[in-house]
Amino acid sequence: MIKRMSNKLFRDEALEANRSKAIGKVALYCPPWRWVNILLVVLVTTIVMIFCVFGSYTKRETARGSLRPVEGMMNIMAVNNGTVTDINMAEGQPVKKGEILATISSEIATQLGLTRVMIAQQLDQQLAGLESERKNLEILNQETIRGLEEKKVLLRQQVDQLKRMKTQRTLQIDLARGQVQKLQLMREKGFASTTQVEQQQSTLLDAEARLLEVERQRVDVQQQLTQTEQQLREQPVNFQSKKNETERQLASIRQSRVENESRRSVRLEAPDDAIVGSVLVKPGQIVSAGQSVASLLPKNAELQARIMLSSRAIGFIKPGQRVVLRYEAYPSQKFGPQFGTVADVSRVSLSPQEVSHLTGDMQVQESFYQVYVKLDRQFVSAYGKDEKLQPGGALEADFITDKRRIYEWVLEPLYALGRQTSL
């Protein structure tokens, strides 16, 4: 038993290993920079995870707009077709309210001359004739009233005289009647003849006839007096009626004259104190009604950005929201971005036609909202100087419509799927 154990002093595996030493030993090779690779992988993974957790993505909506005065621009437009004959303004020039800016003429030359000039001359002649007629009408009215007053006085005198004559005739009749009665008594007593009585009766009849004639004359004169007084009462009314008719004719001619002058030559005036922003026409240029001639800016006008924003992106735009602005006149790559704050958002969208009218872009196919942005600064720092912004300058604006963590954007499909499943 002991002898068998001595023969197995080493295991068979050990003996086998000693027999294969000529081949060499097995070794696992690890390069010295393996830890650098491991650290890089761990670092990149950590950075990606930190970026996904703490990083965020901002969704922006870009829109175009322009700079406008807060109080608005005053557009001077032609009121009719014509030719610009005079320009009394220049860009940057201050103007006062009522100051004439431009003159537009619509004169048409014919073989007989300038039509508007001829019409104006004819209207002036008609106007002068009616003015003279009105003055003559007033003089005639005064003369008529004076004549009626004099006639009234004379007729009153005649009426008074006829009343006195009537009284005298009445006394004569009474005397003649008394004489007839006396002679009749005397004839009855034989002191007077029938012939004397008849003569006295004839005298009585003659006196009564003269009394009737006086009474007829008095009635006739009284009637004339009544008619004269009626004419005096009617004369102011008749005069006023004729005067009103003349005034209507004068007013009609004056209106025709004004209309002719308005078609002949129109002076465009400044509606308020302002500064000429731009002059869009030149002397001799033909303009049509409604065409812009110039634009005026209120003095010391503060500018704001008016931006047309699509109805698809208006839902997240609210007053107080910050906006990044890029002026085309001052590239942001060189002068940096500018900033502002949403001041107001229109509550009603503008139709494509209205947007085209405001912007001049005839290719608008959808509705837009107007967004007004208050500028942080009214100037841009360029080459060491503050350059004042000019009205009408084009710009682009970036609105921040949504901001989320990176992992929220990555997991958004899962969130949406969960919301649909919950429904």
Would you call 151 helix, strand, or coil by DSSP? helix
In this model, does residue 116 exceed pLDDT 70?
A: no
- Tell me what pLDDT residue 29 has: 58
The domains of the chain, with CATH numbers, are 2-57 (no CATH), 73-94+270-299 (2.40.50.100), 113-263 (1.10.287)
DSSP state of 135: H
- Residue 334 backbone zone (phi > 0: left; psi -120 to 50: alpha; other: beta): alpha
pLDDT in tens, 389-405: 888 788 999 887 767 77
pLDDT in tens, 17-28: 665 555 555 555
7 or 421, greater pLDDT: 421
User: In the block, which residue shows the tokens 């030359």?
Assistant: 109
CA distance 79 to 269: 12
108 or 320, greater pLDDT: 320
DSSP strand pairing (394-405 vs 56-69): antiparallel
CA distance 181 to 185: 6
Give, in order, the Cα–Cα distances in Å from 171 to each of 1, 65, 162, 164, 207. Answer: 213, 112, 14, 11, 9
CA distance 401 to 404: 11
Average pLDDT, the chain: 81
- Tell me what pLDDT residue 24 has: 56
Mean pLDDT (whole number) for 170-194: 81
- Tell me what pLDDT residue 5 has: 47
CA distance 393 to 395: 7
Mean pLDDT (whole number) for 1-21: 56
Structure tokens at 331: 């590239």
Residue type, 255: Q
Would you call 128 helix, strand, or coil by DSSP? helix
Closest listed residue to residue 69, CA positions, set 352, 388, 330 = 388
- Tell me what pLDDT residue 363 has: 75
Residue 263: CB atoms within 10 A of its CB come to 19
Residue 103: CB atoms within 10 A of its CB come to 17
In this model, does residue 423 exceed pLDDT 60?
A: no
Q: Where are the beta strands (DSSP E) in 272-384?
A: 274-279, 286-287, 292-298, 303-310, 322-327, 338-345, 368-375, 379-382
In this model, does residue 414 exceed pLDDT 80?
A: no
Alpha carbon 199 to its chain's center = 101
CA distance 295 to 279: 7
In this model, does residue 374 exceed pLDDT 90?
A: yes
Q: Kindly report the backbone phi and psi dihedral angles of residue 338, in degrees, each rounded to the nearest multiple of 5, phi listed first.
A: -115, 165
In the chain, the percentage of residues whose pLDDT exceeds 70 is 83
Q: Where are the beta strands (DSSP E) in 207-291?
A: 265-269, 274-279, 286-287
In this model, does residue 410 exceed pLDDT 90?
A: no
Closest listed residue to residue 338, CA positions, set 385, 383, 395, 401 = 395
Would you call 388 helix, strand, or coil by DSSP? strand
CA distance 337 to 400: 15
Is 55 in contact with 409 (CB distance < 8 Å)?
Answer: no
CA distance 303 to 393: 10
Q: If you count them, how many residues does the chain have?
A: 423
Is 330 in contact with 382 (CB distance < 8 Å)?
Answer: yes
Number of separate helices (H) and strands (E) present in the chain = 9, 18
Q: Kindly report the backbone phi and psi dihedral angles of residue 406, in degrees, each rounded to the nearest multiple of 5, phi listed first.
A: -60, -40
Alpha carbon 50 to its chain's center = 60
Structure tokens at 289: 């009604």
In this model, does residue 56 exceed pLDDT 70?
A: no
pLDDT in tens, 197-255: 788 888 888 888 888 888 888 889 899 989 988 988 988 888 898 889 988 988 888 88
Confidence of residue 162 (pLDDT cuts 50, 70, 90): confident
In the chain, the percentage of residues whose pLDDT exceeds 90 is 9
Structure tokens at 412: 């958004």
- Low-confidence winner among 58-62, 95-99, 114-118, 343-347 (lowest mean pLDDT): 114-118
Residue type, 322: R
Which residues neighbour 109 within 8 Å (Cβ) at sequence distance 6 or greater? 115
Structure tokens at 365: 């196919």
